[in-house]
């Protein structure tokens, strides 16, 4: 038995206090057995709990764990924890938010996962009562269930998948081998975020554009990807959301697969013109700069000027660092 992750420990400790509140002097071995972890892990939890309390609490106001009783007699006694004497409960707003999230998750789950989700939904809906009788309608575009199940199993088993993927912006279908990292739904569509071996980089694929998905039998170690990279491509587009018209040369065509773009045209051979929304104009500027000369700003003018100015500053700084200095 192990204590699991730090998230597992936090969840356990939030339950541990109300559990101990009515069981003064309970043997630590019994606590460990009830929580399904080792005695050593419970002792670790109690050592952390000893430094916990309400915000701005003084040392004497922290949760008090009788360490002498724990070490000498193997029993657990706590004090100064009356504000956590009952298990944490969801209020209606929190439960409703979970219901919406679970309904969205259910739309992109396998049959086995759906059965589990349905059970949790039933309990939450009973909790919020009438609030749940007016369901939140979540529309997610349909994807091939075979593709979805293949990717779900591959994600669980860390197995690479060979896919054929349609890219309408270039009117082509490509074959790729991907290592799925996560499945999610956003803006009414389903996506798989994966490491694409074809380009040796992180990519996001829309499930409704995956024509076939075939397990390769090749298992992989999940790559460590920065959290900001895993969520960069999904946000809500509103009337005030900044956007830009960009010309993409071949080295930047991958942007049409990673982001939800509007295809504008093809001003010249091998150049794709798109409209791309970004969270801020500065985000768009950085995106253009990261792709060097493969992306050109068509509009707005202020973005083109900002890109030019930043590039000029970087070049000037580089020249200053590399130019020989005169000796005095």
The answer as to whether 312 is a domain residue is yes
pLDDT of 314 higher than 70: no
- Whether residue 257 is found in the same domain as residue 296: yes
Q: What is the full DSSP assignment across 30-94? A: HHHHHHTS-HHHHHHHHHHHTT--STT--GGGSPEE-HHIIIII-EE-EES-GGG-S-----HHH
**pLDDT of the residue at 310:** 79
Task: Check residue 57 and give its pLDDT.
Answer: 46
Across 87-107, average pLDDT: 62
Confidence of residue 215 (pLDDT cuts 50, 70, 90): very high
Kindly give, in sequence order, each residue whose CB lies less than 8 Å from that of residue 75, ignoring residues fewer than 6 positions away: 25, 26, 27, 28, 69
Most confident by average pLDDT, 12-16, 49-53, 136-140: 12-16
Confirm if 271 and 249 have CB atoms less than 8 A apart.
yes
Q: What does the pLDDT read at residue 86?
A: 52
pLDDT at 244 (0 to 100): 92
Per-residue model confidence (pLDDT) at position 283: 79
The arithmetic mean of pLDDT across residues 5-24, rounded, is: 75
Please give the pLDDT value at position 273.
Answer: 93
Residue where a domain stops, chosen among 202, 231, 260: 231
**pLDDT per position as a tens digit, 280-294:** 788 788 888 877 778
pTM: 0.37
Place of tokens 């994600």: 155
Q: Name which residue leads in pLDDT, 176 or 125.
A: 176
In a domain, 326, yes or no: no
Q: Does the structure show a pLDDT above 70 at 319?
A: no
The residue-averaged pLDDT of 248-262 equals 81
Which pLDDT value is given to residue 2? 55
pLDDT of res. 188: 59
Residues 79 and 96 both lie in one domain: no
Q: Is residue 251 situated within a structural domain?
A: yes
pLDDT digits (tens, 9 = 90+) for 118-174: 777 777 767 666 444 444 444 455 678 889 889 989 988 999 999 999 876 567 788
Q: Are residues 209 and 160 in the same domain?
A: yes
Domain match, 126 and 110 both: yes
- pLDDT at position 136, please? 44
**Number of domains composing the chain:** 4
What is the tens place of the pLDDT at every residue in 68-84? 888 888 999 887 666 55
In a domain, 195, yes or no: yes
**Residues of the domain holding 114:** 92-133
């Amino acid at each position: 038995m192990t204590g699991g992750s730090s998230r597992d420990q936090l969840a356990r400790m939030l339950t541990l206090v109300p559990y101990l509140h009515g069981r003064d002097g309970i043997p630590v071995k019994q606590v460990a057995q009830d929580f399904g972890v080792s005695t050593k892990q419970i002792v670790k939890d109690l050592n952390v709990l000893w430094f916990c309390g309400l915000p701005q609490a003084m040392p004497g106001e922290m949760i008090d764990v009788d360490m002498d009783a724990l070490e000498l007699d193997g029993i657990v006694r706590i004090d100064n924890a009356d504000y956590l004497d009952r298990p944490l409960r969801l209020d209606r707003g929190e439960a409703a938010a979970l219901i919406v999230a679970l309904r969205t998750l259910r739309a992109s789950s396998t049959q086995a996962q759906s059965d589990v989700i349905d059970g949790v939904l039933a309990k939450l809906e009973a909790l919020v009562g009438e609030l749940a009788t007016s369901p939140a309608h979540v529309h997610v575009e349909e994807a091939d269930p075979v593709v979805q199940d293949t990717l779900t199993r591959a994600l669980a088993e860390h197995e690479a998948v060979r896919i054929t993927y349609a890219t309408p912006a270039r009117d082509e279908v490509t074959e790729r081998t991907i290592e799925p990292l996560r499945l999610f739904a956003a803006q009414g569509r389903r996506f798989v975020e994966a490491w694409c071996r074809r380009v040796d980089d992180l990519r996001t694929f829309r499930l409704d554009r995956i024509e076939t998905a075939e397990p390769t039998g090749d298992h992989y170690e999940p790559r460590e990807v920065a959290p900001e990279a895993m969520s960069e491509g999904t946000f809500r587009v509103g009337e005030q959301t900044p956007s830009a018209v960009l010309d993409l040369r071949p080295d930047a065509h991958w942007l049409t697969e990673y982001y939800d773009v509007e295809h504008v045209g093809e001003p010249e051979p091998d150049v794709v013109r798109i409209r791309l929304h970004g969270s801020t104009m500065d985000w768009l500027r950085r995106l253009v700069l990261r792709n060097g000369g493969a992306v050109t700003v068509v509009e707005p003018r202020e973005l083109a000027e900002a890109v030019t100015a930043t590039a000029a500053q970087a070049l000037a700084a580089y020249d200053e660092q590399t130019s020989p200095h005169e000796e005095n």
